[in-house]
Structure 1
Amino acid sequence: MEIRALLEGDESQVSMEFQAGRIYSRSYLLTFYSERAFLPGWLEESKPSCEALELRLLIQQSKFDGLVPADYHLEQLNFLFERSLSDEILTEKELAKMDILLSDAFMLLAKHLYQGKVHPEHLEGIWDIQSKEDDPRLLEKLNLALAKQNVRQQLFSLHPKFPIYQRMRQSLKKYYEMEQASTGLNWKNPVPEEPLEPGQAATQIPAIRDILIFWKDLENYAQGVGEIEVYDSLMMEGVKRFQLRNGLLPDGKLGKATIEALNQDPKALIDKAMVNMERLRWLPDTTLQEFVLVNIANYSMDYIRERDTLLHSNAIVGQSYRKTPVFNAEMSYLVFSPTWTVPPTILKNDVIPAVKKDIGYLAVKRMKILDFSGREIDPKAINWSGISRNNFPYMVRQTPGRHNALGLVKFMFPNKYNVYIHDTPSRELFFRADRALSSGCIRIQKPFELAQLLLSDQPLWNEERIRNAMESGKEQTVTLKKKIPVIILYLTFWSDGAFRENIRRDIYSRDGELLKLLQLPLIHEN
């Protein structure tokens, strides 16, 4: 009855008994062991059972899920296992501790695999996507793991259901293997003053060539040229492949962004994979047949139906000081030839200062000043010298047309952030590598194609009618027959269907904060 004595003591007694191996799921374990008359679950003739050995292996492999094996009593279990497996006779209390630690490790690992170790509310950035239910029948999983002798199956059943998660897990495993082989490479190459192009020479070229070969972006390279400092055309093709995987403009130039990405060693990518697998664990497991997915860090929007991507579009997202939030909502209507009522923040920070400098700004931008009843106000009738950012008693609205900041169509999914997807007149911005340029909303390169897909179940809205409505100069709202889920995510790493790793710059500097929380020692969860 040592198990019962250990679990039924008061908090200070339990803490003293387990010390660094403190118990996190004590209330669950009291239920689990009381239902089995406080008999051990992981022992066989006073030795760790096959299930116990399997669980220890899974704890060691939890690093491939971006978790920290030490969180799950690994050090304490290793100490007890080594003594037991070397035929040392453990005391009844030590055997009871081993059993409790194994059960607690299973519960905690199961919980973290299911909904993550870190709660999104502990982060500075906005994550406003509904979380999973709190308890996925963890005790039932523990009982089944022991009764059916399938510990791995029960734990793996708690992985996120998205195929991308298993692909990322394989990538992370690969990075751990590659980490051992990367020690001889130079991961601190200096950035040149001007981007290097083919034909130019530089001292860092051999090191960069080695990195490209290491990542297999450069293969079948001629032998005997390892120390040559000339950037040749074959190497440029490897640079382009690397740039594509890293979301950079594939121009083959070795500039600042490309060199910085090349300087990320496998350990840096292990860290990046860790935080993004955690983000996937936060997502609800609801399977959506049709939805719009925006990845902020990838500057992209995808329209997905039955797991097929029907439309991929480059996107422009919020600047670092006007970040696009992470949330989900339902798209219910779109507006052709929209007007644009300037939001308060942009009005205060951008429009009013511009008008005070030059009243002609309004005419150039085709903006009208309206009172809150909708009556147009002559800007020349306003005493602008007495106007400040905080006392402007009007609203400013831009007329429809190609000049409009929202372009020719906007897609509405009502939300508290007043964020939506829209067209833009600044088409040239889509060809930039860094597209964190908006005030929070999402501008897309292919608005017409998205409108076509959304209205494909309304035959009257054919291609001609959609184009006419976009160009009409008269605002027109069209309600969708069915609401389409919109999910706005922030992923800086993922593995695609071909198991290619995609690495993106952490444009909002969010990865470091989450990584730190993932690596922090656990606090008591009981």
Structure 2
Amino acid sequence: MRKIAYLIILMMMYANAGRAAEKMYWLPADCSQNRQQLFSYFKQAALLGLEQRDYAFALVQQLQSGYMPTDSLMTDRALTQAAIAFFTDVAYGPAITRIGYDGLKYVPDCLDIPTLLYSALANNNFNKLLEKVEPSAPQYNALKSMIAFYNDRLQRQDYHPVKITSETADSSNHPLIDKLYQLGFLDAPDYTAHEDTLRIKIRAAEYMFEFLEDGALRQGVIEELNVSLEKRLSELKHAINTFRWLNCLRKYQYVVVVDIPAAELFVYLGDSTMLNSRVIVGKAKTPSSPLASRIDEVILFPYWTVPHNIAVKELLPGIKGAPSIYLEAGNYQVLDKSGRILDPQSINWNTLNKHNFPYTLRQMFGCDNSLGIIKLNFFNPYSTYLHDTPARSYFMFNSRYFSHGCIRVEDAIPLAKLLVPAEAPRIDSLSRMKTPPAGSPITIPMKPGIPVIILYEVAWPDANGKVRFFEDVYEKFK
């Protein structure tokens, strides 16, 4: 399918150029500079998080060895097709699985790659095309720089796999020093480095791996340091291509991005991060799902409709002990299948179980409501949404994987105010109230909705543009 798409684009390129189909761009003698520049671009693929073999690799090898094909027109077209594929991947990233549900039906298309390519060739500035096509965000550049650095380390003659086994943080721990050098925390593998210097470098590594920055070489820190450089490079490549994929979407509008391993939320607009918040995501047994959708409403003082599994597994045993006390203390209502509120005393709770529970539990608004006072809704098949929470202490953990799949947002109120600025004063004033003035949830529609993307990236830049690596909590990158 992708090959057919490139052939169509290739035909468009010739049509846009207004030239005959016989026009060639690479093989004639007067095009040798363009040809060599194209081969130079392809050679940079690894430094860009791409695979050189995806771009007419065998043909390029033949041409560089002096082989001249009999059908020069078809060869020239093959090189043009490879060039379009290369610059398309530079702009948008290659097609890789990023999300399970795509409610946006989003396909990046903010650049006319064939026209840009033809224009660069026609105006003799083909050597400037790469910088025109690449994203310009600082996060992208940070990922690109780290990819280039790790590639350089892997290609050095002194590179060798390293495994740290000792928790000793001094110059006697040669594997530690080697690894700190390979990751760029040391300029050279100095086996005379002072312990204080090594502690400082360990703190820098702990920051990158989202650990307490105390300079202690604990087992968890050792495990992250022992991840191979090749695997880190693979994680970085996945991340940079996802960031490319997002580039068109965030150019002229807010885009809410949640990275599950980082347990962080970002609001991007163009090359800027407008808001960053810690979040709590699903634990491994009840994971959050990667998806794309649109936030279509903000709800103040929301009800919490308890998911069936939580109701029967976690709440029902407590309800059976003292129905009225338990339900009143949690501010729960019991609804039948028609949505009518029932008297809990009219139900024989001891006859109910996970196979027989024809009711819905709904928690009323209030300071103890599990959703807090803000809920941001978007359609998806996983019943996932963004919401506030009264349980603030969980945000203090570095590993914030505690929920049943929904996303708890530490800065839910600032997020809502940012996304619906026309209603910001209302949100600000209402959020300070203990109960809604109307006695029921207040819904603020959002038209058009704000794109929300939930990703799974083990490597991702933080709000300051520093690339960090996070726990592969769902083991998707094993």
What TM-score do you get using the length of structure 1 for normalisation? 0.75
CA offset digits 1:410-440 (Å, max 9, x no partner): 2323323432222223222112222122122
Is the 2:289–2:405 contact (alpha carbons within 8 Å) kept by the matching residues of 1? yes
Is the 2:138–2:465 contact (alpha carbons within 8 Å) kept by the matching residues of 1? no
* Residue of structure 2 equivalent to 1:178: 153
Within a 5 Å distance, the mapping from 1:357-376 to structure 2 comes to 359=323, 361-376=326-341
* Residue of structure 2 equivalent to 1:79: 62
Within a 5 Å distance, the mapping from 1:357-506 to structure 2 comes to 359=323, 361-407=326-372, 409-417=373-381, 418-450=383-415, 453=418, 457=422, 461=426, 466-469=431-434, 475-477=440-442, 479=444, 485-490=450-455, 491-495=457-461, 500-506=466-472
2:84 partner amino acid: M
Is the 2:375–2:387 contact (alpha carbons within 8 Å) kept by the matching residues of 1? yes
CA drift of 1:397 comes to: 1.4
Relative to structure 2, which stretch is displaced further, 448-457 or 161-170?
Answer: 448-457
Is the 2:87–2:133 contact (alpha carbons within 8 Å) kept by the matching residues of 1? yes
Is the 1:328–1:486 contact (alpha carbons within 8 Å) kept by the matching residues of 2? yes
Is the 1:189–1:259 contact (alpha carbons within 8 Å) kept by the matching residues of 2? yes
Distance 2:446 2:74 in 1: 60
* Residue of structure 2 equivalent to 1:42: 26
CA drift of 1:447 comes to: 3.6
Please give the secondary structure, in 2, of the residue aligned with 1:404. Answer: coil
Equivalent residue for 2:179, pick from 198, 205, 211: 211
CA drift of 1:206 comes to: 3.8
CA separation of 1:135 and 1:97: change in aligned 2, threshold 3 A: farther
Equivalent residue for 2:87, pick from 110, 114, 130: 110
* Residue of structure 2 equivalent to 1:10: none
Is the 1:332–1:412 contact (alpha carbons within 8 Å) kept by the matching residues of 2? yes
Distance 2:5 2:433 in 1: 63
Equivalent residue for 1:241, pick from 192, 197, 204: 204
CA drift of 1:112 comes to: 2.7
CA separation of 1:470 and 1:313: change in aligned 2, threshold 3 A: farther
CA separation of 1:91 and 1:425: change in aligned 2, threshold 3 A: closer
1:169 partner amino acid: K
Is the 1:179–1:266 contact (alpha carbons within 8 Å) kept by the matching residues of 2? yes
CA drift of 1:259 comes to: 1.5
CA separation of 1:204 and 1:437: change in aligned 2, threshold 3 A: farther
Is the 1:369–1:379 contact (alpha carbons within 8 Å) kept by the matching residues of 2? yes
CA offset digits 1:98-148 (Å, max 9, x no partner): 42331221132233334432254xx68445444225695444344334322
Distance 2:121 2:113 in 1: 13
CA separation of 1:277 and 1:307: change in aligned 2, threshold 3 A: closer
Relative to structure 2, which stretch is displaced further, 146-155 or 166-175?
Answer: 146-155
* Residue of structure 1 equivalent to 2:76: 99
* Residue of structure 1 equivalent to 2:314: 350
Q: Does 1:140 align with 2:115?
A: yes
CA drift of 1:79 comes to: 2.0
* Residue of structure 2 equivalent to 1:507: 473
Structure 1 vs Structure 2: percent identity of aligned residues? 24
Distance 2:347 2:253 in 1: 53
Distance 1:406 1:56 in 2: 55
CA offset digits 1:352-397 (Å, max 9, x no partner): 4554577565455342322245544344543445434244221101
CA drift of 1:156 comes to: 4.8
CA drift of 1:507 comes to: 2.8
* Residue of structure 2 equivalent to 1:332: 297
Q: What is the root-mean-square deviation of aligned Cα atoms in Å?
A: 4.0
* Residue of structure 2 equivalent to 1:262: 225
CA separation of 1:486 and 1:390: change in aligned 2, threshold 3 A: farther
Q: Kindly name which structure, 1 or 2, has the bigger radius of gyration based on alpha carbons.
A: 1
Distance 1:135 1:285 in 2: 6
* Residue of structure 2 equivalent to 1:278: 241
CA drift of 1:213 comes to: 4.4
CA drift of 1:314 comes to: 1.3
CA offset digits 1:5-29 (Å, max 9, x no partner): xxxxxxxxxxxxxxxxx99945555
Distance 1:26 1:451 in 2: 44
1:415 partner amino acid: F
Relative to structure 2, which stretch is displaced further, 49-58 or 73-82?
Answer: 73-82
Please give the secondary structure, in 1, of the residue aligned with 2:367. Answer: coil
Unmatched runs of 5 consecutive residues or more in structure 2: none
CA separation of 1:119 and 1:179: change in aligned 2, threshold 3 A: closer
2:52 partner amino acid: P
1:504 partner amino acid: F
Distance 2:305 2:419 in 1: 24
Distance 1:67 1:465 in 2: 49
2:386 partner amino acid: I
Unmatched runs of 5 consecutive residues or more in structure 1: 1-21, 85-89, 513-526
CA drift of 1:160 comes to: 4.1
1:187 partner amino acid: V
Equivalent residue for 1:300, pick from 259, 264, 273: 264
2:87 partner amino acid: A
Aligned length: 468
Please give the secondary structure, in 2, of the residue aligned with 1:298. Answer: coil
1:36 partner amino acid: A
